[in-house]
Amino acid sequence: QVQLVESGGGLVQPGGSLKLSCAASGRISVVDAMGWYRQAPGKQRELVAVVASDESAEYADSVKGRFTNSRDSAKNTVLLQMNSVQPEDTAGYFCNVKGQLAAGSCFASWGQGTQVNVSS
């Protein structure tokens, strides 16, 4: 009922920048939190950043000061600007959106994931 389309992953050199985007569509009434998680091979999925409907943001300690998560509530999109990336940022990045459907029920949807590889 809610579709998330991600884009922007790829190969980037250490110290470089990359921007990920995620667009939510469907019978959405309200979008609450919009965020990003990542999962590296052999590791658990972890929170990277999330922004709430009041624009308050939360970041993993490992990305604070380097990544910026922003949302366009009118378009139901979220952008993750990744600066000063490091090899340890290499992972599959997954968009996650929570909110309410037009029918009144809550939803929590995941994107298909986009791969980010940081390597020289």
CB atoms within 10 A of CB 22: 26
CB 114 within 8 A of CB 9: yes
Measured in degrees and rounded to the nearest 5, phi and psi for residue 89 equal -85, -5
Q: Tens of pLDDT along 66-113?
A: 999 999 989 999 999 999 999 999 999 999 999 999 888 999 999 999
Distance CA 27, CA 80 (A): 24
Contacts of 105 (CB under 8 A, 6+ apart): none
pLDDT value of position 29? 93
